[in-house]
Amino acid sequence: MLEKSLQNHQKAFKKTLASYKPLFETEDIGRIISLAGPIAQAEGLAGVHAEELVRFADGTLGMVSSLNPKVAGVILLGSAENIRAGSEIRRLGRVVDICIGRELLGRVIDGTGVPLDTKGPLPDLERRPIEQPAPPIMRRAPVTAPLETGIKVIDGLIPIGKGQRELILGDRQTGKTAIALDTIVNQKDKNIICIYAAIGQRESSTAKVIHELNLHGAMEYTIVVVATGQDATGLQFITPYAATTIAEYFMEQGKDVLIVYDDLTRHARAYRELSLLLERSPGREAYPGDIFYIHSRLLERSTHLRPEYGNGSITALPVIETEAQNLAAYIPTNLISITDGQIYLSPDLFAKGFLPAVDVGKSVSRVGGKAQKAGFRDLVGQLRLSYSQFEELETFSRFASRLDAETTKNLERGKRLRELLRQDRFQGYRDFEQIIIMLALTEGLLDQVPMEKIRETEDMIRSQAANQLVELCREISKGRILTEKDKEKICHFIKDIPGLGQEAQAPAVKG
C-alpha cells in the first residue's frame, strides 16, 4: 500500500518536473564598448561562437567575427544609426542563417532572408546556416551536360557546362551584367533555377536588373538576393554565402541551378573594410591574407553531384571588375585560378560596337568543351582556332599590300564570323539555330554575302530553319552529330532561301 502511494507520488513529481518552467530564463547579454563603422566591440559574451548571431538593443542583427577572451568583434548586419556604446547585445544561440524553399522563387530578399519586394512577408520556412562545407570529392561528378547561355560567342567558342564556375571579367561598363542577365533570361523553360546575388552595386543598377528580369518573365524561376552599396558592409559580405545556401537546397533536390555573383570585386572590398576595422594585418593591395580562402570556399560549393546524390548542379558565374584592363591584379588573378575558365570583356571591342564584347583570345573554358553537344563540338571545334588566326591575320594584313587568294578568303570568312558573333541583348539563340548558322559559315555559303547583309541573312536563316527543318532541328537539340546527309540538307535549305541573293549561291568554298 505504502509502496503504491510512493510510486504515485513519484509519478506525480516527475510530471510536475517535466512541465516546470522556470520564471527566469538565463540569457547571455553583453555590452558594447566601442563602435567603429560596421564593427562593434562587445564585452561580456563569454562562450560565444564564431559566426554566431547577436542582436543589438534596437533589433539590428550582428555576426560575431573575432574572438578574444574578453572582447568579441561583431560585424553589423544592419545600420549603426541607433547603436550606442554601453547598450546591450544579446546572443541568439545560432549561427547566421537564411530561409530556404520553393516559396523564394520570384522573390527579392536580403542576405538574412528579409523580403525587399512588395509581395508581402514570407511563410515560415526552414533555415540553414549560410556557411556550409563544400560537397566532398566523392560526391562530385564530372561536368557532362552543357549549360546553354543562348549567347552565340559563348555557346560556340567558350562553352559552359552544368556545375562549372566561369568567371566574367572586364573593365567597368563593358557588358558584364548584360551577359549574366541574358544567360538567366535565356534559361526560360529549361528547368533551371537561377539566383542573382547583387553585391555592393548601386541601387539603381539592381533595380534595373530586377525590372528586366520581370519584363522578360524570368522572375518565375529566379531568386534575387540583394545587398546594395548603401547597405551595411556586413550584409554585403554575407550575401553570396546566403545565396549559395539557397542554391544548395535546390541542388540537393536534383535541380540544376545557375548562380550569378555580381560582383565579387565589391565583395572583396567589403571584406577588406571589415578586416581592416577588425585590425587584421593587411597584405597585398591592403586585402587580408585570407581573401583567397573566402572566395575559394564560396566557389567550391558549386559543383555537379553524382547521380546517387541526385545529379543536381550549381553553375556559378562570378563577375569581377578589372581596372584599366589589368588582369594581373590581385583579385582577378585569384579568381582566375579558382574558376574553371573566364570570359573576358574588352572595352576596345565594346567601343567598336562588337557586342557582346567578348575577347575570344583572352577567354577560355577549361571544362565546358567536353560538355558541349556533339553537333556543336564537331562543327565549331576548329572555329576558335581559325578565329584567333583571323585576328592575327587582320593585324598583319594592314601592312601587306597584296594578299594571296587563300589569305583573302580566310580574312573575309573571319570578318563574317565576327559579324555573326554579334548579338543584341535579350535575343537568345537556340542550339540548332546556332549550329545551322555556323554550318552556313564553315561551308562557305556566306562567303559571297556582302558584309552589311550578313545579319539580315542570318535572321532569315534563323526564322525559316525552325519551320522548314522541324525534325532535324529537334534531333540536333537532342545532341545528334550532323551526318554528311544532314549537312547537305541544311545547305540546300540555306541556298533555297529566297532573297539570299544570287551571289550567295555561288559554289561553296569548302572550309
Interface positions with ligand ATP (CB under 6 A): 170, 172-178, 321, 355-356, 423-425
Q: Hey, which residues between 173 and 202 contact Mg ion (CB under 5 A)? A: 176-177
Closest CB to Mg ion among 98 and 209? 209
Count of CB atoms situated within 10 Å of the CB of 281:
8
Q: Looking only at Cα atoms, what is the longest distance across the chain?
A: 121
Catalytic residue among 128, 139, 140, 366: 366
Closest CB to ligand ATP among 360 and 500? 360
Binding map of Mg ion across residues 117-156, x = CB under 5 A, - = no contact: ----------------------------------------
Cell numbers describing residue 125: 520556412
- By CB under 5 A, the count of residues binding Mg ion is 2
Out of ligand ATP, Mg ion, none, which partner does residue 78 contact, by CB within 5 to 8 A per kind?
Answer: none
* Residue 98 to residue 110: CA distance in whole angstroms: 9
**Radius of gyration of the chain from Cα atoms?**
28
Cell numbers describing residue 150: 543562348
CA distances to 376, 489, 490 from 439, in Å: 10, 11, 8
The verdict on 206 binding Mg ion (CB under 5 A) reads no
Q: Which stretch binds Mg ion (CB under 5 A): 170-178, 181-189, 360-368, 502-510?
A: 170-178
- Minimum Å gap between C-beta 356 and ligand ATP is 5
Residue 474 a catalytic site member: no
- Minimum Å gap between C-beta 177 and ligand ATP is 3
Out of ligand ATP, Mg ion, none, which partner does residue 174 contact, by CB within 5 to 8 A per kind?
Answer: ligand ATP
Place of cell 540569457: 27
Closest CB to Mg ion among 10 and 326? 326
* Residue 332 to residue 330: CA distance in whole angstroms: 6
Closest CB to ligand ATP among 51 and 155? 155
CA distances to 451, 459, 461, 482, 484 from 497, in Å: 18, 11, 7, 21, 20
CB 57 within 8 A of CB 100: no
- Minimum Å gap between C-beta 483 and ligand ATP is 34
Give residue 308's Cα distance to chain centre.
Answer: 25
- Minimum Å gap between C-beta 381 and ligand ATP is 25
* Residue 159 to residue 171: CA distance in whole angstroms: 22
Closest CB to ligand ATP among 205 and 386? 205
- Minimum Å gap between C-beta 229 and ligand ATP is 11
Helix (H, G, I), strand (E, B) or coil at 48: coil
* Residue 193 to residue 180: CA distance in whole angstroms: 14
Q: Which residues bind Mg ion (CB under 5 A)?
A: 176-177
Catalytic residues: 366
